[in-house]
Chain A
């Protein structure tokens, strides 16, 4: 089955710096890769996604890159702010559903 790995498990950055979270997946048939942000005690929220026919997508301070050959995709957050502190989950399609990565706890230090 699909296996999604995510690194690092925790990440601390200074406010204003960039943060990068990387995920790898195993199923070459996966074709859609969403990223979710979950603040403490709240629901996961879709923040950006990318489909397999695109190599990069950007939305303001957030960007995602995809390398289908290497089966990895990454989330890039620039100019980090304290409100970016949360747990971030990557996911990859597997059949009719998603498999989530184990999550990255991002802390943005003021």
Chain B
């Protein structure tokens, strides 16, 4: 298995809703990431988990809450989002964390629309 699987592919949520994005990989990668990508922009780092521990939080608002239940799974819990949070949310994994010298495998992303 050489893929990162993200669900759902599309999500529309209201500003008072609570929802979760899910990411799964079975490549034995020990680092997993959440990125946010707006149209025509590069991916922006949100969170990094290395060996299941949160190692980088790029000052993301608390309405985004990551969770890494085990080395294969990564969740992003969403609560009280704003319309400007609408974007493509990408999960990625890499062989090791902490060195940044291995390429990422990206998932297909969840296209989130906040109404």
B84: interface (CB < 8 Å):
no
A61 CB-CB contact with B under 8 Å: no
- Can you name the residue of chain B whose Cβ is closest to the Cβ of A31? B101
Q: Are B106 and A97 in contact (CB under 8 A)?
A: no
* B108, A43: Cβ atoms closer than 8 Å: yes
**B101 to A97, Cβ gap below 8 A?**
no
The verdict on A46 contacting chain B, using a C-beta distance below 8 Å, is yes
A43-B109, A44-B90 known; A100+B103 contact, CB < 8 A: no
B98 touches A46 (CB 8 A): no
Stretch from A13-21, A64-72, A77-85, A87-95 at the B interface = A87-95
Told that A43-B109, A44-B43, A103-B42 touch, could you supply 5 new A-B pairs with CB distance under 8 A? A46-B103, A96-B98, A97-B33, A101-B42, A103-B41
- A-B pairs with lowest CB-CB distance, top 5: A100-B42, A32-B101, A93-B100, A46-B103, A43-B106
Binding site for A on B (CB under 8 A): 33, 40-43, 45, 48, 50, 55-56, 90, 97-109
| Sampled A-B contacts (28; CB under 8 Å) | A31-B101, A32-B100, A32-B101, A32-B102, A36-B106, A42-B108, A43-B106, A43-B107, A43-B108, A44-B43, A44-B90, A44-B104, A45-B106, A46-B103, A49-B103, A89-B43, A96-B50, A96-B55, A96-B97, A97-B33, A97-B100, A98-B100, A98-B104, A100-B42, A102-B41, A103-B40, A103-B41, A103-B42
A residues apposed to B, CB below 8 Å = 31-32, 34, 36, 42-46, 49, 51, 87, 89, 93-98, 100-103
